[in-house]
Amino acid sequence: MTDKEILGFEFILLYHISSCTEVVQRLRQEFDEVLGKDVTKAITQNDIDKLQYCDAVIKEVHRHFPVNYSLGRVNIEKDTVGGYIWPEKTSFSILYCAIMKRKDYWTDPEKFDPDRFYNIDDDDKYLLEKQHVKNAFAIFGGGIGACPGRKLTMIELKCLLTLIYRKYDIELADPNAPLNYSSTLLSVCKELLVKVKPRNF
Ligand code: HEM
């Protein structure tokens, strides 16, 4: 793919997953447990609901690399925010890419670790995540303007990862190359070079 084309969040997801062998192994283990080894078996909604590690991987990639990094809001009446009084109709930009890296909300926030979204109530490691701070994880926005496509997005991304990783081995062409992306209103991957091989069972 060339940098003239826009590559979506799916490629950002592939980049992060392919950078971490343990994540690929655990994803495949979950796919094999939930779906079995028959790669032609159709995926059902029940299967999708059981893919909890896959869910955690998608969320952790979003946390590190939100597609749109801020949310806009306008207040309808005078309000106090951050210790300042703001008149009505002030435009606010909520920089939630920063909220998703706050040290008081996230344990070791710079670390890429899907386990912070996976079975945390059974784990002593992610104490901050256990607080479930409201709006600390707002990749799909919140309130009445929240993204109506959020459930569809999670279903699509889980199906995509299932279809790819059950059948193929994806290897980054250069494991040391940083993600080639651009970020304006939306963050997009500009180019991702990978080697694709049939999965070695
Ligand atoms: C990775 C995928 C996606 C992300 C990260 C995302 C994120 C967002 C965010 C942050 C908002 C603003 C929410 C707010 O202001 O509180 C939004 C709004 C919206 N999204 Fe998504 N979205 C995604 C996929 C989709 C899909 C697949 C659809 C449709 C099928 C969709 C439809 C919409 C619509 C219609 C709105 C405007 C809602 C309104 O203003 O009332 N989105 N999305």
Per-position DSSP letters for the chain, written without gaps between them: --TTS-B-HHHHHHHHHHT-HHHHHHHHHHHHHHH-S-TTSPPPHHHHHH-HHHHHHHHHHHHHS-SS--EEEE-SS-EEETTEEE-TT-EEEE-HHHHTT-TTTSSSTTS--GGGGSSGGG-SS-TTGGG--TTSS-TT--GGGS-TTHHHHHHHHHHHHHHHHHHEEEEESSTTSPPEEEESSSEEEEE--EEEEE---
ipTM higher than threshold 0.95: yes
pLDDT for position 131: 85
Contacts of 145 (CB under 8 A, 6+ apart): none
Which whole-number Å values give the CA distances from 142 to 67, 98, 116, 145, in the listed order? 15, 16, 21, 6
In order along the chain (201 residues), what is the average pLDDT of each group of 10 residues?
Answer: 66 93 95 90 94 97 90 94 95 91 94 92 82 87 89 95 93 93 85 91 73
Q: Is 147 annotated as a binding residue?
A: yes
> Do 191 and 11 touch, CB atoms closer than 8 A?
no
* List of domains in the chain: 9-67+103-198 (1.10.630.10)
Nearest CA owner, ligand 1 atom 36:
147
Instruction: Say what the pTM is.
Output: 0.92
pLDDT for position 194: 94
pLDDT for position 30: 96
CA of 145 to the centre of ligand 1 (A): 8
Structure tokens at 34: 């939930």
CA of 94 to the centre of ligand 1 (A): 16
Nearest CA owner, ligand 1 atom 7:
140
Nearest CA owner, ligand 1 atom 12:
141
pLDDT for position 4: 55
Mutate to test the pocket of ligand 1, among 68, 70, 97, 140 (most ligand atoms within 8 A of CB): 140
Nearest CA owner, ligand 1 atom 35:
148
Nearest CA owner, ligand 1 atom 20:
147
> Do 77 and 149 touch, CB atoms closer than 8 A?
no
CA of 14 to the centre of ligand 1 (A): 21
**Which residues surround ligand 1 with Cβ inside 6 Å?**
9, 67-68, 71, 139-142, 145-149, 152-153
Atom of ligand 1 nearest to the CA of 142: 16
Torsional class of 140: left (φ above 0), alpha (ψ -120 to 50), beta (otherwise): alpha
CA of 154 to the centre of ligand 1 (A): 12
